[in-house]
Structure 1
Amino acid sequence: METRWLTAEEQRVWRAYRDLSLLLEDTLDQRLRHDAGLSHLYYSVLVFLSEAPERRLRMTDLAEHLKVARSRLTYTISRMQDEGWVRREGSPGDKRGQLAVMTDAGLALLERAAPGHVATVRAAVFDRLSPDQVRAFGEVCETILTGLTGPDRPADASLPWRR
């Protein structure tokens, strides 16, 4: 099979995206560590738990929301449990299932960290884009995400939360 090399324009766009994604993740992580002493991943765990009924989610569902491997989530939840931000509970009706539950301390931490995080996201992304660019950016991201997670995803691409 012949390799379909990127055109000069595709290479430019790809490198811009790669650099953007790495620098944005680092920027968000640094701000959260400075403001609240937690990583961007820990913050994201707290966000998803705060939005869930009774601030609890099955670990497998949380891994899917976060787009991470279950083993990475298990490690993350263990560290967060040590800090008192979450706890684990057995899943009612499923002896093998586990729930991650946000504690009151975790909610307080999230409430303290959220304003700075939102300000950073706004300054780094949305304040730089016109409303049309925001709409187009969202469409592009959703199209690529669907391609990576939907039925037409690459055959050799296993989803991290299923590993």
Structure 2
Amino acid sequence: MNAMPQHDDDPAARAADSRLVRDFGLLIKSATRLEQRIDGALRRECGISHTMLEVLIRLCRRPGDEVSQRQLADDLTLTSSGTTRLIDRMENAGLVHRVPSPEDRRLALVQPTTDGRTAFLRASAVHARVVEEYFVKPLSADEYAHLTHALGRIDEALRDGKQ
């Protein structure tokens, strides 16, 4: 039987176990688990997905803003067809409605309905509770401040970076 190479002698094993790979994996794993907790609580308690809440956040953030499906797709990093399907489901649930853009008839603007605003308020309370429990409470105030500052700097570098 051939023995597997020792970790120290295997460049692939060293690369897979590198600090950068492990640290980034921890970030992704934590974000994914938090997303799953939020999504599960929203589905159970409000009957909407986390992605639907993200749409409602965008639509309710600045009342009166004209938001197109294209802008939502960009904001949520979804495909155009994925956004269309999501808005179809939300429209069927009575959370949003589409109106033609007065400037460009090719664009549909998305607006929250009264029921959508009510669902948003309920869902935002659930979201806040889960985020507080699993994102804020495990850290000291200083750790939380450092984390959010660092995440802001990473986001800024990614937005400003040319690819």
Q: TM-score, length-normalised on structure 1?
A: 0.81
Q: CA RMSD in A?
A: 2.1
Instruction: State the structure with more CA Rg.
Output: 2
Q: Which amino acid aligns with 1:41?
A: T
Q: Deviations over 1:41-60 (max 9, x none)?
A: 01111111111222652222
Choose from 137, 142, 145 the match for 2:155.
Answer: 145
Choose from 15, 24, 27 the match for 2:34.
Answer: 24
Distance in 2 between the 1:12 and 1:84 partners? 43
Deviation at residue 34 of structure 1 after TM alignment: 0.7
Q: Which amino acid aligns with 1:115?
A: A
Tell me: CA distance 1:69–1:43, structure 2 relative to 1, closer, same or farther (3 Å).
same
Q: Which amino acid aligns with 1:124?
A: Y
Consecutive unaligned residues of structure 1, counting only runs of 5 or more, are 156-163
Aligned residues: 150
Distance in 1 between the 2:138 and 2:70 partners? 35
State the structure with bigger RCO (CA 8 A, min sep 6), 1 or 2. Answer: 1
Choose from 49, 60, 71 the match for 2:81.
Answer: 71
User: Match of 1:54, SS?
Assistant: coil
Runs of 4+ in 1 over 6 A off after TM superposition: none
Distance in 2 between the 1:74 and 1:82 partners? 12
Retained in 2: the 8 A contact 1:55–1:102?
Answer: no
Consecutive unaligned residues of structure 2, counting only runs of 5 or more, are 1-11
Q: TM-score, length-normalised on structure 2?
A: 0.81
Q: Percent identity?
A: 27
Distance in 1 between the 2:37 and 2:125 partners? 15
